[in-house]
Amino acid sequence: MEKVVSGIRPTGNLHLGNYFGAVKSFVKMQDEYDCMFFIADWHSLTTHPKPGDIQNSVRTILAEYLACGIDPQKAPIYVQSDVKETLELYLFLNMNMYLGELERVTTFKEKARKQPDNVNAGLLTYPTLMAADILQHKALKVPVGKDQEQNMEMARKCARRFNNIYGVEFFPEPQSFYFADKALKVPGLDGSGKMGKSEGNCIYLRDDDKTISKKVMKAVTDMGPQTPNSEKPEVIENLFTFLRLCSTEDTYQYFDEKWNDCTLRYGDLKKQIAADLIKTIAPVREKIAEYSANTALLDKIALEGAERARESARATLEEVRRIIGFRVR
């Protein structure tokens, strides 16, 4: 089976964008690939140097992963900082990367613009740490969003450069992986194109029924359809995206017909969306609460995942040391 690796930073609760855009794919992948999933707590330091209670943040993400259906027996889940081997590989890869190419990475330039008082070395070398996360397991596929494609190209560059410098064919070049030709984008409730924590336009998997309804009812709309069979503007298409995600096909067609004959009432549409989102989220939320209450189980799963990840990373690192010329410990 092909090896797949992917991670998420512990900077907040999972929202619908994470759930539909990534985690549901992870659940499917664990039955088809040799998967490892990790919680990227080191990565979070690039933007949150004082991350607060990082241990609870990690447990939060872990509980949500489990509640969404990831089975740690099929796909180990580990905490990035529990695999110390990653740091040594990160160092070796950094020795082969150049300042200019790291400075040209789009995500670095964007983050540097947003946090001008915290343009740290970790932010600059984020792609190299990401490459170490992937290459230590010699992963062939990495589920990522379109915004991470340049970082994936940097990971491939790390693999190629190592192989070229030392005259080996050791690291495979990892490929970005999507379940569809077009990556799924879950819209925000503010009329923007994408749901995201920083935009404050999210529905979280931990939100209660009342909160979900309140958020949906405040979703941005327009004056309503003025011409039969007209094209939906983005803010309305966003609402219909939620119908596609959580409602039946009959429900979608009903409201689509209402749009086309100009009889659509946004209040009715939002109530339907809220009801269907609640039906989708409620069982996941209940499981999150159950897992969150069992911290001993969460710590055990993380420990077992780390042991399996370290075994994989250690084998890679020993060979890397041998290739470069360092003593193998």
Report which of 186, 195, 158 is spatially closest to residue 173, judged by C-alpha positions. 158
- The tokens describing 9, both together, are 């930073």
* H helical segments located in the chain: 16-18, 24-29, 41-44, 54-68, 85-94, 99-103, 106-114, 121-124, 126-135, 149-166, 209-217, 234-246, 249-260, 266-292, 295-324
> Could you list the active site residues?
111, 194, 197
Report which of 108, 109, 98, 112 is spatially closest to residue 158, judged by C-alpha positions. 98
Could you give the CA distance from residue 162 to residue 319 in angstroms, rounded to a whole number? 12
* CA angle (14 as vertex; 70, 251 as ends), nearest 5: 85
Could you tell me the CA-to-CA distances from 57 to 60, 80, 136, 298 in Å, in that order?
5, 13, 25, 12
Residue labelled with tokens 């985690």: 23
Could you give the CA distance from residue 219 to residue 277 in angstroms, rounded to a whole number? 14
Could you give the CA distance from residue 178 to residue 142 in angstroms, rounded to a whole number? 9
- The tokens describing 323, both together, are 């290739």
